[in-house]
Amino acid sequence: MSVTELRIAIIGAGQISQSCCKAADKHDSATVVAAFDPSPGRLKELCDEFKIPTACSSAEDMLALDNVDAVYVAVPNKFHAPYAKQALEAGKHVILDKPFALSYDEAKAVADAAEANGKLFMLGMNQRYRTDSQKIRNLVSTGRLGEIYHAKAFWFRRSGIPKLGTWFGNKDLAGGGALLDIGVHLLDLCLHLSGNWNPVSVTGATYTKFGNRGLGEGSWGKSDKEDILFNVDDFASALIKFDNGATVTLDVSWACHAEEPNRNDVHLYGTEGGASTYPAKLFHYGAEGEDYQVVEDPEADIALEHADRFHNFFNAILGTEQPLTSVEEALTVQRILDAIYASCASGKEVRLD
Ligand SMILES: NC(=O)c1ccc[n+]([C@@H]2O[C@H](COP(=O)([O-])OP(=O)(O)OC[C@H]3O[C@@H](n4cnc5c(N)ncnc54)[C@H](O)[C@@H]3O)[C@@H](O)[C@H]2O)c1
């Protein structure tokens, strides 16, 4: 790759877009050169704060700029796949925020566009980059846990629905609620850590119990409050089975009655050891005569010291690092998410094999 100065453009000037600007500021070779958002106020705020020189009046104008190498897409979920595809077809590398898309078919069209145009496409699954996650991944890949036969992934927020009255709570704009917003993170992390990528069946249930009553609101999101219907899940639960006989349970809530305000983790159960991720801990038998071992902050190599999805994206384009995510894995996560909603709708197990 001949590019040494990487010129980034951003679609969406909401709350999360700052994370890309901050990462570019810290990176030696990346600069944010352009941004677009239909809200003139939010667009100006982002451009002023991060000294972005070009505020575009449309995504088309932005994607037509010759001085843009790569695009970060951070918009309501409905627009993820269309913008990602459009940017790839305009010859830009793309990092898209989660969830991938509103359906597998949409996601596959993006993957095909990346391949057809020879551009890098990455989903920004930031949980994979955390130091604790990288340690557990290393312990699993070096065999310290043996065969992983079960994993438990969860994220329980007591009162963490993004601002009520915004796109986050509306099915047309978001596609789904807690499951697509935070469940996707823990599902992806769980599969990444356990190394299980061949799901065969999914049973799921989703619930809407708080947002529809105006309860459980958190503070996330910069979009303006409007009179938008809340009609997505604020709680979801699923059982996923894999071709090697392993199972995963996933539980996620934007709002629920719980002791702690916010708790997420992936627990792994293996034949030779177990692990929890946040914080990293390893569990295994001691040597003969020793007690059972609970190892806090276990010794393990980490792949990427910078622990940042944007730096990984920039470096992957520059050819100095491998992406920590893959398109195939992102498609598998999307298939499972689709199946959880399908299982909830039908009341039946959904086969994926
Ligand atoms: N990786 C993470 O941990 C993480 C965290 C938060 C959000 N996200 C994802 O990032 C995306 C944006 O979330 P956010 O928290 O910044 O939301 P937000 O509501 O704060 O901002 C969304 C922005 O998108 C803009 N927008 C709306 N329609 C648009 C369109 N058609 N074209 C361009 N821009 C449009 C809005 O004007 C707004 O400025 C979401 O998909 C969300 O799931 C990821």
Nearest-angstrom CA–CA distance, 22 and 17: 9
Cβ atoms of 163 and 225 within 8 Å: the answer is yes
Mean pLDDT, range 123-140, rounded to an integer: 98
pTM of the model: 0.97
Question: pLDDT tens, 213-256?
Answer: 999 999 999 999 998 999 999 999 999 999 999 999 999 999 99
Mean pLDDT for the stretch of residues 308-312: 98
What pLDDT sits at residue 310?
Answer: 98
Q: What is the pLDDT of residues 75-87, one digit of tens each?
A: 999 999 999 999 9
Is the pLDDT at 1 greater than 90? The verdict is no
Q: Give exposure, 301-324, as e/b (b: 16+ Cβ within 10 Å).
A: eebbeebbbbbbbbbbbbeebebb
- Ligand 1: residue whose CA is nearest its atom 6: 16
Topology of 6-123 in CATH? Rossmann fold (3.40.50)
Question: In testing the pocket of ligand 1, which one of 19, 37, 94 has its CB within 8 Å of the most ligand atoms?
Answer: 37
Look up residue 157 and give its two tokens.
């927020």
pLDDT, tens digit, for every residue of 38-49? 999 999 999 999
The CA–CA distances, whole Å, from 161 to 38, 157, 158, 278 equal: 24, 8, 9, 22
Q: Give the mean model confidence (pLDDT) for residues 130-144.
A: 98
Distant-in-sequence contacts of 316-319, Cβ < 8 A, 24+ apart: 316/120, 316/122, 317/1, 317/3, 317/6, 317/69, 317/70, 317/93, 317/120, 318/1, 318/3, 318/4, 318/6, 318/29, 319/1
Mean pLDDT over residues 273-277, rounded?
Answer: 98
Mean pLDDT of the chain: 97
Residue 279 has pLDDT above 50, yes or no: yes
| CA-16 nearest atom, ligand 1 | 16
Ligand 1 residue neighbourhood (C-beta within 6 Å): 11-17, 37-39, 42, 74-77, 79, 97-98, 124, 126, 166, 181, 221-223
Where in the chain are the domains?
A: 6-123, 127-303
Task: Give the right CATH number for 127-303 from 3.30.360.10, 3.40.50.150, 3.40.50.2000, 3.40.50.1260.
Answer: 3.30.360.10
Nearest atom, ligand 1, residue 168 CA: 19
User: Rounded to whole angstroms, how far apart are CA atoms 175 and 103?
Assistant: 9
Assign 6 a pLDDT band (cuts: 50, 70, 90).
Answer: very high
- Which ligand 1 atom sits nearest the alpha carbon of residue 167? 19
Counting residues of the chain whose pLDDT is more than 70, the rounded percentage is: 99
Which pLDDT value is given to residue 281?
98
What per-residue confidence (pLDDT) applies to 2? 40
What does the alpha-carbon distance between residue 172 and residue 78 come to, in Å, rounded to a whole number? 7
User: Hey, which of 58, 186, 223 would you mutate to test ligand 1's pocket, going by the most ligand atoms within 8 Å of its Cβ?
Assistant: 223
pLDDT digits (tens, 9 = 90+) for 59-107: 999 999 999 999 999 999 999 999 999 999 999 999 999 999 999 999 9
Single-letter amino acid code for the residue at 310 = F
**Best mutation site among 19, 61, 97, 182 for ligand 1 pocket (most ligand atoms within 8 Å of CB):** 97
Average pLDDT over every residue of 114-134 = 98
- pLDDT for residue 3 is more than 60: no
pLDDT bucket at 4, cuts 50 / 70 / 90:
low
Measuring from atom 21 of ligand 1, which residue has the nearest CA?
Answer: 14
